[in-house]
């Protein structure tokens, strides 16, 4: 993939640079620590601890490198919870590119390389059980074309490229399409903390929190459906 370049971030984990957009897939301060802080700790783990449930349905905007799905899979094993994971990606990376990412080596979990490869090489547009506790549906599609159902997901990982690079992904139109898919008590998390995003989420009836961000970023946003 000529428009994609492998980079290393400050926590030792790798990421990708989209040369055409001049945008990285993760924070250069640390890919794994950003995804863990924003999406796992303040999204998935927060939801499980708040609700005391033993299962969760997750929707991710932007499968990207597969890091968020990979961390969620490992969390499901460690926490003994069932995760039903759905992700959309309009422009998937190929396995040749993904195989150069060092997440399995950095995380040092048993069978991590096998799981990471499965996440990337499973068939698109088909629900696949990766482990006893984790199923994956990857839709090769822009989020604009995804058919959401009302009260479908417990957690939404919103991980599109930054508003400055991909403004069409952060519009009220997109948020209006996605937010009804949250179940009551469900949470929406993103690394972005723009004022307009917070205002739009509040307009849609969500309770919005500004939380401390990962290293290198002052804030992140979590919104809950009351």
* Percent of the chain residues past pLDDT 90, beyond the cut: 97
Task: Please give the pLDDT value at position 110.
Answer: 83
Q: What is the pLDDT of residue 114?
A: 96
What pLDDT is recorded for position 211?
98
Q: How high is the mean pLDDT of the chain?
A: 96
Confidence of residue 90 (pLDDT cuts 50, 70, 90): very high
**79 to 10, 83, 206: CA distances (angstroms):** 28, 11, 28
With 90 as the cut, is the pLDDT of residue 102 above it? yes
Q: Rounded mean pLDDT of 132-142?
A: 97
Q: Determine how β-strand 153-158 pairs with β-strand 55-61.
A: parallel
Pairwise CA distance, residues 226 & 223, whole Å: 9
**Share of residues in the chain with pLDDT > 70 (%):** 100
**Residue that is written with structure tokens 């799905």 in the block:** 69
pLDDT (tens digit per residue) in 157-173: 999 999 999 999 999 99
Closest CA to 192 of 159, 224, 168, 216: 159
Query: Cα-Cα-Cα-Cα dihedral of 186, 26, 18, 3, to 10°?
Result: -100
Domains of the chain, first to last: 35-224 (3.40.50.150)
């Amino acid at each position: 993939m000529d428009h994609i370049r492998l980079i290393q971030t400050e926590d030792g984990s790798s990421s990708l640079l989209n040369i055409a957009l001049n945008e990285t897939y993760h924070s250069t301060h640390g890919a794994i620590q950003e995804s863990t802080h924003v999406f796992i700790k303040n999204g998935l783990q927060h939801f499980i601890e708040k609700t005391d449930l033993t299962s969760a349905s997750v929707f991710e905007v932007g499968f990207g490198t597969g890091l968020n799905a990979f961390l969620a899979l490992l969390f499901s094993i460690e926490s003994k919870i069932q995760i039903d994971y759905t992700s959309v990606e309009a422009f998937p990376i190929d396995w040749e590119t993904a195989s150069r990412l060092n997440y399995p080596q950095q995380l040092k979990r048993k069978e991590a390389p096998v799981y990471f490869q499965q996440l990337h090489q499973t068939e698109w547009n088909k629900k696949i059980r990766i482990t006893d506790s984790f199923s994956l549906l990857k839709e090769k599609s822009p989020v604009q074309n995804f058919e959401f159902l009302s009260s479908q997901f417990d957690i939404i990982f919103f991980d599109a490229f930054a508003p400055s690079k991909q403004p069409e992904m952060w519009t009220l139109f997109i948020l209006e399409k996605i937010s009804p898919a949250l179940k009551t008590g469900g949470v929406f998390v993103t690394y972005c903390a723009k004022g307009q995003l917070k205002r739009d989420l509040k307009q849609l009836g969500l309770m919005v929190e500004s939380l401390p961000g990962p290293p290198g970023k002052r804030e992140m946003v979590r919104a809950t459906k009351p």
